[in-house]
C-alpha cells in the first residue's frame, strides 16, 4: 500500500464548460455565467478563455464586457449543472469509491489497493478523465489531487489548473506548498490568517511545523488541531457536522424590493425551508427573520415556539415579525431578506402533548397537511400547492 488515501477532483470552470459542451458555437470562446439576465448583475463563473482577459467570479457584467468585448454571457442554470454533476459522479464511482460529492463541481474519492501509490493513482486519473470526456463531453475537464487525507488532496487538486494532476505527501511536503499564502489554504479565512499572524505564524512552513495543541488554542477549537494534523499528513477523517437550522436568503431583484413584494418573497422562502425541514424528518423551535433595507442596518428578530414542522405556523410567525419591522422599513426598499428555522431536533425525539393530543414523534394535523402538500408538489411540480399567496424569486440555484 502506498501513502495516498484520498483523490480530490475539481472540475475546471464547470458551469461555463457545461454551457460550451451544450452549445458548440461557444466552444473555445470566452464565456461568463451570470446570476441575473441583465446588465446589473455579476459573473458567477467564467471559462478559462474569459479568465485570460481578467474576468473572474464577482466581475460585474459591464466590467466583463469592457475587459473582453467578445465575451458571451449565459444565465446560470443550476439544475442543468447538477444533472451533469450526477453524470460525472456515476462515472467516477465506477472506477473507485466515491466517498463524497463535496459540491456541484468537486468530488472526494477513497483510494485503496494498487492506486494508493503515485503511478497507480496517475493511471486511475487518466482513465477517469478519458471516461468523462467520452461519456459526458470533451469540454468537461478536471484537475486532480491526491494525498494521505482529504485536506492535502484538496490542496493538491488546486495546484495545477486546468486539467492537472498533483500530489502532496511525505516526499514533497511542506516545501511543495511553501509559496502559498496562509489564506490560500481551504478553511483559513482572512480573519483566521490574522489570528495566525498575531501568534507569529506568518507562512505555510511555520504553520506545518506548528504544535497541533497550539493550533487548538489559536483556533479556539479542536478544529485547529485537526487542521494542522491534516497538514502534517495524518489520516484525519472529515467530521459530519450537526445541522443547526434550515434557512433561505435572497438578494432581491429590483421588482421585489418594495416591502409588500418582499413580504411575498419571504413567504416563498418559508415554504422552501419548511419543506426541507420535513424532508429531513426534523422540527424547529425558533423562527428568525432578517431584513436589509437600503441605507439602514439589517433588522433581525426571532420568535421561539414549540417544536414544529408546520409551514402555516412559520407563516404566522413571519407575519408577526413583519408587523414589528414595519416602523423600521416603512418607505424604504429592501436589498435582501432571509428566513431561518432554528433550534432543530428530530421529529421522532419530540415529546407528546396531551392537550393537542399527539403522541411522542407524531405529526399534528397541520404537519400532516404540510407533508401532503410536499408529496403533491414533488409529484406534479413545485408550486402546484401553495400555502396562500407568495412570490417565487428563482435565482442561481433554481434555474435550469
Task: Give the mean pLDDT of 231-241.
Answer: 80
8 Å CB contact between 337 and 292 = yes
The enclosing H or E element of 45 equals strand 43-46
Model confidence at 396: pLDDT above 60: no
Residue 300 pairs in a beta bridge with: 290
What pLDDT is recorded for position 292?
92
Same fold: 101-130+139-231 with 245-380: no
Q: Which position has the higher pLDDT, 242 or 351?
A: 351
Residues involved in catalysis = 106
- Most confident region among 18-32, 90-104, 343-357, 386-400 by mean pLDDT: 18-32
Model confidence at 397: pLDDT above 60: no
Helix (H, G, I), strand (E, B) or coil at 348: helix
Model confidence at 358: pLDDT above 90: no
Pairwise CA distance, residues 148 & 6, whole Å: 6
For 315-353, write each residue's pLDDT tens digit: 999 999 999 999 999 999 998 899 999 989 888 888 876
What pLDDT is recorded for position 170?
93
Question: φ, ψ for residue 270 (rounded to 5)?
Answer: -65, -45
- Predicted model pTM: 0.68
Question: φ, ψ for residue 395 (rounded to 5)?
Answer: -140, -140
Residue 187: pLDDT band by 50, 70, 90 thresholds?
Answer: confident
Residue 127: pLDDT band by 50, 70, 90 thresholds?
Answer: very high
For the domain spanning 245-380, the CATH number is: 3.30.1490.100
Residue 384: pLDDT band by 50, 70, 90 thresholds?
Answer: confident
Domain boundaries, the chain: 101-130+139-231, 245-380
CATH class of segment(s) 101-130+139-231: mainly alpha
Helix (H, G, I), strand (E, B) or coil at 138: coil
What pLDDT is recorded for position 239?
65
8 Å CB contact between 1 and 13 = no
- CA torsion 155-88-133-140 (nearest 10°) is -60
Contacts of 47 by beta carbon, 8 Å cutoff, 6+ apart: 13, 16, 17, 20, 29, 30, 31, 32
Amino acid at each position: 500500500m502506498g501513502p495516498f488515501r484520498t483523490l480530490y477532483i475539481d472540475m475546471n470552470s464547470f458551469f461555463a464548460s457545461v454551457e460550451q459542451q451544450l452549445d458548440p458555437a461557444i466552444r473555445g470562446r470566452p464565456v461568463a455565467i451570470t446570476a441575473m439576465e441583465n446588465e446589473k448583475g455579476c459573473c458567477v463563473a467564467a471559462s478559462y478563455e474569459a479568465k485570460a482577459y481578467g474576468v473572474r467570479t464577482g466581475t460585474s457584467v459591464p466590467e466583463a464586457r469592457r475587459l473582453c468585448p467578445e465575451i458571451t454571457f449565459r444565465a446560470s442554470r443550476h439544475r442543468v449543472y447538477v444533472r451533469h454533476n450526477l453524470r460525472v459522479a456515476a462515472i467516477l464511482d465506477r472506477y473507485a469509491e466515491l466517498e463524497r460529492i463535496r459540491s456541484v463541481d468537486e468530488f472526494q474519492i477513497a483510494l485503496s489497493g494498487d492506486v494508493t501509490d503515485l503511478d497507480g493513482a496517475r493511471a486511475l486519473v487518466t482513465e477517469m478523465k478519458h471516461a468523462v470526456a467520452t461519456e459526458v463531453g470533451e469540454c468537461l475537464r478536471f484537475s486532480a489531487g491526491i494525498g494521505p487525507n482529504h485536506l492535502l488532496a484538496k490542496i493538491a487538486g488546486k495546484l495545477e489548473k486546468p486539467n492537472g494532476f498533483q500530489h502532496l505527501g511525505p516526499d514533497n511536503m511542506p516545501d511543495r506548498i511553501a509559496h502559498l499564502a496562509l489564506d490560500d489554504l481551504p478553511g483559513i479565512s482572512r480573519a483566521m490568517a490574522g489570528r495566525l499572524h498575531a501568534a507569529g505564524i506568518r507562512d505555510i512552513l511555520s504553520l506545518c511545523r506548528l504544535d497541533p495543541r497550539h493550533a487548538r488554542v489559536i483556533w479556539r477549537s479542536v478544529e485547529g488541531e485537526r487542521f494542522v494534523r491534516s497538514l502534517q499528513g495524518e489520516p484525519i477523517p472529515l467530521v459530519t457536522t450537526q445541522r443547526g437550522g434550515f434557512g433561505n436568503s435572497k438578494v432581491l431583484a429590483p421588482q421585489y424590493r418594495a416591502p409588500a413584494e418582499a413580504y411575498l418573497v419571504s413567504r416563498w422562502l418559508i415554504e422552501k425551508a419548511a419543506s426541507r425541514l420535513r424532508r429531513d424528518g426534523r422540527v424547529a423551535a425558533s423562527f428568525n427573520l432578517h431584513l436589509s433595507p437600503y441605507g439602514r442596518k439589517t433588522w433581525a428578530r426571532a420568535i421561539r415556539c414549540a417544536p414544529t414542522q408546520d409551514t402555516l405556523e412559520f407563516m404566522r410567525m413571519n407575519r408577526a415579525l413583519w408587523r414589528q419591522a414595519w416602523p423600521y422599513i416603512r418607505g424604504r426598499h429592501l436589498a435582501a431578506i432571509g428566513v431561518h428555522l432554528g433550534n432543530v431536533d428530530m421529529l421522532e425525539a419530540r415529546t407528546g402533548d396531551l392537550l393537542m393530543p399527539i403522541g411522542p414523534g407524531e405529526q399534528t394535523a397541520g404537519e400532516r397537511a404540510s407533508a401532503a402538500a410536499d408529496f403533491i408538489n414533488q409529484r406534479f411540480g413545485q408550486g402546484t400547492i401553495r400555502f396562500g399567496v407568495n412570490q417565487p424569486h428563482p435565482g442561481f440555484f433554481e434555474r435550469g
